[in-house]
Amino acid sequence: MAQLIIVSNRVAIPEKNAKPRAGGLEVAVKAALKHKSGIWFGWSGKVATRTKIATQRVIHDGITYITLDLSKEDHQEYYNGFTNRVLWPILHYRVDLAEFSRRDLSGYLRVNDHFARELHEVLGPDDLVWVHDYHLMPLAKALRELGHKNRIGFFLHIPCPPPEMLTALPNHERLIPSLCEYDLVGFQTGDDAFNFSRYLTRECGLHSRDFNFVVADRTIRIDVFPVGIDTAAFGQLAQRSVRLPFVKRVIKSLNGRALIIGVDRLDYSKGIPQRLSAFELFLQTQPDWRGKVTYLQIAPKSRTEIPEYADMEQEIGSAAGRINGAYGEADWTPIRYINRAYSHTTLAGLYRAARVGLVTPLRDGMNLVAKEYVASQNPDDPGVLVLSRFAGAAHECKAALLVNPYDPDSVAAAIGQALSMPLAQRRERHDALFRVLSHNDIQHWADRFLAALEREPRALSQLEQMPSVGS
């Protein structure tokens, strides 16, 4: 019987008696497997300390989880090296931060080959394969080389920059065209899809008709699938979570002040230093709000072994301390800066309590925090989303206050506008946002992608015959 196999860098095997998690790829996987039997395949998150690399198989709630450990060398070269120090910065338009080594590229390709060999053992001829994110771009090529002709789809969760930046990637001509081995390549926004299509046209000599490219005897389809959230369920969660003892304590500690909230992984793509500068400018230019508003920035640490992240952590901590020192009073701290993670349940309650959601990344594939903030709001008295125009979510969330995160004046003005916005306008904006997010929820996203992947391409005779990659 044909099944769906979802492949991602990390796989979270459910623990016995553990509460279900509400975030990230896990929600997407469960939405995709809701009406299909299938497998979730990928790295366990463990680095093996022994010679033999373990493969684990667990069945839970009808889903088979197959996970692989990585060796210390593979983890260093594939994960810490190529994916996080080369692909992540370049795909986020930060070529200046990329640190390339041929050894890391070799490790990246080696791990993808290892994934393919392990997947080869369980992959049936009619199985559908859905590969997620930049860690696994060459996986389809490795599977094709093992003889698999399955329908294989790929979805990039982060941005795809224009070819002028993609070509800054050393050995790009080896890596980027390997995406042509997929039958369907999905992106968050039309800009991302267009950037990739331009690369194929400019660097590979391919041309498209309606985003269909013919490569040798195969057709690759490029399309846009903006990822969603479980909008209704998250709204219900927020309604309950605002009554949690911890959330109630936070609300009480505000002493009636308006709450601004930002929630981001500690990463240079999130624009937290620029956001702090904008908040400082807001306090300078709109002094009537001093003592009446508190900005809570939650920023869990990530990739602490990479020096740039440690430097950024110090920069942000220093900026928050300086602003609090300059503007704070004995009974009021303008910024609460927290370097720890909270559960989605707790965050949902904090989102609902916040008058303003401040989501201003310098570049983001989608940014689900923006959508979660909207879903969490009380529709009778909603808060206002201030959103970077460089987040993928901005393409759907047009009723938010869209800002340029590089322009502190515009962000500061938007904070003031959000705090002062009349109730009728807040309701109107929230209603427009909620309707969009309800239509394109996580289930709709998964169903659309899989329907497109299962759909056979038009016959080659119906498309212009075009050269293959490298011709």
Q: Mapping DSSP to helix (H, G, I), strand (E, B) and coil, where does residue 73 land?
A: helix
Q: Which of 127, 364, 430, 441 is catalytic?
A: 364
Question: How far apart (Å, rounded) are the C-alpha atoms in residues 195 and 311?
Answer: 31
The DSSP result for 404-466, as a single string, is: -TT-HHHHHHHHHHHHH--HHHHHHHHHHHHHHHHHT-HHHHHHHHHHHHHSPPPPGGGS---
Question: How far apart (Å, rounded) are the C-alpha atoms in residues 140 and 146?
Answer: 10
Distances (CA, A) of 54 to 49, 87, 117: 10, 27, 14
Query: Would you call 113 a catalytic residue per the annotation?
Result: no
Question: How far apart (Å, rounded) are the C-alpha atoms in residues 471 and 196?
Answer: 19
Which single residue is written with the structure tokens 């990928």?
Answer: 42
Query: Would you call 157 a catalytic residue per the annotation?
Result: yes
- Cross-strand pairs, 258: 293
Q: Which of 148, 157, 344, 430 is catalytic?
A: 157
Instruction: Return the structure tokens found at 269.
Output: 């793509």
Phi and psi, residue 133, nearest 5°: 80, 175
Q: Mapping DSSP to helix (H, G, I), strand (E, B) and coil, where does residue 233 land?
A: helix
Residue numbers annotated as active site: 157, 364
